[in-house]
Amino acid sequence: MTHIEKSFSGIRVLDNVSFDLKKGEVHVLAGENGAGKTTLIKIISGVHTNFKGDIFLNGRSVHFLSPSHAARYGISAIYQEMSLVNSMSVRDNIFLGREITNSWGQLDFNKENEISHEILDRLGIDIDLARPVGFYPLSIKQLIEIAKALVFKSNIIIMDEPTSALNSVETTYLFKIIKDLKEKGRGIIFISHRLEEIYRIADRISVLRDGKYIGTDQVDKLPSHNLVKWMVGRELKEQFPERKSHKKNKTLLSVKNISLNSPNKEHKFKEANISFKIHSGEILGIAGLQGSGKSLLLNTLFGTYGKVNKGKIILEGQNYSVKSPKKSIHMGLVLLTNDRKKTGIISDMSVKENMTLACLEKFIKLGWIQKKKEQRIVRKNFDFLNIKAVSIDQLISNLSGGNQQKVVLAKWFMTQPKVLLLDEPTIGVDVGAKHEIYKFMNNWSRQGIGQILITSELPELLALSDRIIVLHRGSITAEFKRKEATQEKILQAAMGE
Amino acid sequence: MDKHKYSKKTITKLKRLSSLPVVRALAALCFVVFIGMIFNADGAFFKWDTHRDMLRHISVFGILACGMTLVIITAGIDLSVGSILGLTAVLFSLFSIHLGWSPFFAILVCLLAGLGCGLTSGFIIDRFKIQPFIATLAMMVFARGLAKWVSGGQKISTAVLQPDGTYKYVEAPKIFNFINSKIFNENMAVVTLIFLGSILICWVILSKLRWGRHIYAVGGNEEASKLSGIPVTATKLLVYGASGFFCAIAGICQASQEIQGDPEAGMTYELTAIAIVVIGGTNLMGGTGGIGLTLIGAMTIGYLEKVLSINAVGEASRLMLTGVIIVGAVLFQKYRK
């Protein structure tokens, strides 16, 4: 495709972008959030039909009118925003819109089951096809989404951040499939924020920045520091800022023999028996595969699922019985959730209103909101966190992922917490904003705040944590000091070996 | 070249302006008023009395719509408003006409009754996680039954049944006449002032109070609200309570206007109240909207009915036209991008 231009309500989001994909190659599309990657692939896959420029498929000019039109030409896409119907079964979702029927027009369940099984096997997951999709966690949903695209034997497959919800084992399966597809001569467009993954899978890399085309190169001719320079437009000296330990000897939070709560009162890890300590100014990393209970652990401590029945939690020397998020926030224990859209932001509200959501009490006098005071304090934090928005009254949904995440971080920081529970703080956040978030975390350590960090990016975990504990099926299998931890050791412990 | 640029800028500005819900709601209102100016029934539309009567007519619906707005912003719905209106109208007449209570007590007890009904709906919705549609549907049926039970199925009027089986006519209490009167040289109905007062109360709640912020938050994303420490249960409970409270105010106004408590009063009023809120532009999905929009919505529906009635359009055509115009107004609200 050449010279693509696209504008949304007068704002040009793509400006003269050209892009090409060869047979049997993986072409990575890189760039920060808001660079226009998603818009570009939505044009390729027929979601956006109103644009300037031309698309050529096998040398012939084409103009897709809808995603199903593009699909007929062998182009299918896996989007960031999931296109699954939660209430329908796994099988029905995989075949949604292209159901297999027999000659009477009846649905052919046997054949659908057979094909589903085969594809899910290749993806390395064994799940009940008749269960509704909503029953499964995010990572399984993402794999089902991928299965959906694979059922269609497309020549061009577009994957928009398919790995953001996957752990390293699942990612390995996915990469194996991608290599398979490559050998069969299919072309793959792949978007990811993880540099390490980009270098594992890419043949060629193209970079967009602020809607402009920056360049394309073979992967071996584009070392990572050059790639980052292309993406952010300046040189980031290091991926992670220098980190000094601010760990003090004062124990902030200690957890003794607690069990894990989970939604729907279903106790997945009956045997769970978790104990650990966190000191003032310390960043404690928690590693573990998807489903190891690491996210449940943070939610249990925060009180998302109500009371904790077993064990003891001591916060600053005082016994703390977990009851509800409200009480935890009051006690200075706050949780940044891993699903920004679903549990982090309120998209109909402004940046300001989102920021003060958890600390509104500070601006209340007899039930009335003191708007001037609110405005003043929000503005201070807004400037401090370097949030890029037109004003504090802008709707949060109009911000990029990285800036939304900064607003959510501001929301929690403004409650003046003692312990910050961070569940994937950099998910769906671009390189520049990630770097800033790392710096904030360092800053908070310096102030004596204890932080517990979960992240599916191991390099990030290794670079930021003072200490790392590893969970496997709801129990701690290993603990490493900063110096002793390596990716291999952590992965081994995470897999229960 | 420069001129072209300028006009383009103006167009973007206009586009942004026209995407504001308030502007869209006002446009619908202006459209209806404009129609009224053309079909003015020999100048009847230009008389203040017409507008005063329109406002008077829409007031009871408007008061119901005030509570409904709060409920809808939390992504709920309240179908019981018409029945609670009927119940409180019956109670108010019973207390003040038959039992001869002082207006103060009669009003207080009625407001508490309305509040109680609303809180009950809210409690059922929150405690048992029953959809607002179902829970308030049940309350709608229940409150209507209660109204009929309390009144014995009869209209509670100034004809009081005596022990010997005869009727004795008593004079309606002064409070009825007051609420039903017009003040400022007959230029403004008291019920309209009560309506505007209700709007003012809701405006304070929604834009000045912490509770209002919580209402928007819960409607926008209940899960995120809970995880931000917002008392979701209390917020929802109070919203339905407030809706019941406004129903009681409307019920008292209705009883005063009819000088009787009709257990059948307020049938299908819930639909008009919802229509007012939606035409104003408050989204049924929750999280957005406002009370100013509801005021505009109420006036749009009021003028629509007024224009049709002063032009002597028959009831059949009037209903059909109203249906068409509701869809038109909502479609108009939807096309913003």
Rg (CA), chain B: 22
* pLDDT band at residue B112 using 50, 70 and 90 as cut-offs: very high
pLDDT in tens, B287-336: 889 999 999 999 999 998 888 888 888 888 888 888 887 788 778 766 65
Smallest Cβ–Cβ distance between A358 and the set B220, B221, B229 belongs to: B229
Which residue of B17, B73, B221 is the best one to mutate when testing the A interface, meaning the one whose CB has the most A CBs within 10 A? B221
Smallest Cβ–Cβ distance between B227 and the set A337, A347, A349 belongs to: A337
CA atoms within 13 A on the CB side of B331: 6
Residues 6+ apart with CB under 8 A from A282: A245, A246, A247, A248, A252, A445, A450, A451, A466, A467
Smallest Cβ–Cβ distance between B221 and the set A326, A335, A346 belongs to: A346
Per the prediction, chain B carries an average pLDDT of 88
**Chain B residues with CB-CB distance to A347 below 8 A:** 220-221, 287
Contact yes or no for A345 and B221 at CB 8 A: yes
Measured in angstroms, the CA of A260 and the nearest CA of chain B are apart by: 18
What pLDDT score does B2 carry? 47
Contact yes or no for B229 and A9 at CB 8 A: no
Measured in angstroms, the CA of A246 and the nearest CA of chain B are apart by: 28
Which residues on neighbouring strands pair with residue A157, listed in sequence order?
Answer: A76, A188
A/B interface, count of CB pairs below 8 Å: 74
Contact yes or no for A369 and B209 at CB 8 A: yes
Q: Which residues of chain A have pLDDT under 50?
A: 1, 3, 8-11
pLDDT in tens, B27-54: 888 888 888 888 887 777 888 888 898 9
Smallest Cβ–Cβ distance between B224 and the set A326, A343, A369 belongs to: A343
Work out the burial of residue B43: count CB atoms within 10 Å of its CB; fewer than 13 is exposed, 13-18 middle, 19 or more buried. Answer: exposed
What pLDDT score does A8 carry? 47
Whether residue B205 is predicted with pLDDT greater than 50 in this model: the reply is yes
Which residue of A340, A343, A407, A408 is the best one to mutate when testing the B interface, meaning the one whose CB has the most B CBs within 10 A? A343
What pLDDT score does B328 carry? 82
Q: Is A367 on the interface with B (CB under 8 A)?
A: yes
**Chain B residues with CB-CB distance to A302 below 8 A:** 227
- Rounded-to-integer distance, Cα A51 and Cα A326, Å: 48
What pLDDT score does A474 carry? 82
Which residue of B13, B201, B216, B227 is the best one to mutate when testing the A interface, meaning the one whose CB has the most A CBs within 10 A? B227
Smallest Cβ–Cβ distance between B220 and the set A329, A342, A348 belongs to: A348
* A241 torsion bin: left (phi>0), alpha (psi -120 to 50), beta (else): beta
Contact yes or no for A369 and B224 at CB 8 A: no
Phi, psi angle pair for A86, to nearest 5°? -60, -30
Q: Is B135 on the interface with A (CB under 8 A)?
A: no
Contact yes or no for B230 and A357 at CB 8 A: yes
Other beta carbons less than 10 A from residue B309's beta carbon: 16
Measured in angstroms, the CA of A318 and the nearest CA of chain B are apart by: 21
Smallest Cβ–Cβ distance between A326 and the set B210, B216, B231 belongs to: B231
Which residues on neighbouring strands pair with residue A284, listed in sequence order?
Answer: A452, A467
**Chain B residues with CB-CB distance to A343 below 8 A:** 221, 223-224, 227
- Rounded-to-integer distance, Cα B276 and Cα B271, Å: 9
Higher pLDDT, A198 or B254: B254
Measured in angstroms, the CA of B216 and the nearest CA of chain A are apart by: 8
Contact yes or no for B210 and A367 at CB 8 A: yes
What pLDDT score does B335 carry? 63
**Chain A residues with CB-CB distance to B226 below 8 A:** 325
Q: Is B31 on the interface with A (CB under 8 A)?
A: no
pLDDT in tens, B132-161: 999 999 999 999 999 999 988 888 887 777
pLDDT in tens, B178-198: 888 888 878 888 999 999 999
Q: Is A407 on the interface with B (CB under 8 A)?
A: no
Contact yes or no for A325 and B227 at CB 8 A: yes
Find, among B4, B3, B58, B9, the residue nearest to B29 by Cα: B58
Contact yes or no for B287 and A346 at CB 8 A: yes
Helical (H) or strand (E) element with A197? helix A195-201
Other beta carbons less than 10 A from residue A259's beta carbon: 18
Q: Is A338 on the interface with B (CB under 8 A)?
A: no
What pLDDT score does B69 carry? 96
Measured in angstroms, the CA of A369 and the nearest CA of chain B are apart by: 5
